[in-house]
A = this chain, B = another copy of it.
Amino acid sequence: MVLFKPKDPQFRSRVEASFNRQQVMKTLGVKIVKLQPGEIELMMDYAPAYTQQHGFIHAGLITTALDSACGYAAFSLMPDDAEVLTVEFKTNLLAPARGEHFIFRGRVVKPGRTITVCEARAFAVEESQEKLVAMMSGTLMAILDRDAECPRHC
């Protein structure tokens, strides 16, 4: 496991503040469980409102939490004047998202000044047993203050 040194010693409060501004995390009940430089763990309860036709959590909602896991793992290593945007992600669905709650673990694979690459995994938890249900690889981009007049890679 690579350990990362954050550029911003206040990365923790910066990540939490941004995460709390994501209305969708509140709506879905996603919470930060652990946070280290370049690494994050999120949790979400099962909710019938977010299921697909077989009663499992829809792949898009699993992806929503995985994307936030990648995004905030990346954001934790960015300088304090940076915003983070997702460039792309891919999700492989490995098993039905059936469980009492779900754990999402995201981590930085390769940090960069502009581009950061992350991966994340989603686990369904039933009777305290974790089962891998999905995995993501994603590209995140830092937008710096000096680019503020030009959001989203113009």
Contact = CB atoms under 8 A, between A and B. Distances in A.
Interface residues of A, number: 55
Tell me which of A64, A83, A88, A112 has the highest count of chain B C-beta atoms within 10 A of its own C-beta. A88
Contacts of A22: 51-53, 58
A91 B89 contact: yes
Contacts of A19: 53
Interface in A37-54: 48-54
A73 interface: no
A39 B112 CA distance: 29
A113 interface: yes
Interface in A105-154: 109-110, 112-115, 117, 119, 132, 135, 137, 139, 141, 150-154
B52 A88 contact: no
Contact of A49 (B27, B58, B83, B112): B27
A96 B152 contact: yes
A122 to B, nearest CB: 12
Contact of A59 (B27, B83, B86, B109): B86
A95 interface: yes
A76 interface: no
Given A23-B52, A88-B90, 12 more contacts: A21-B53, A24-B49, A24-B50, A24-B52, A58-B67, A60-B63, A85-B93, A87-B115, A88-B93, A92-B117, A109-B132, A137-B137
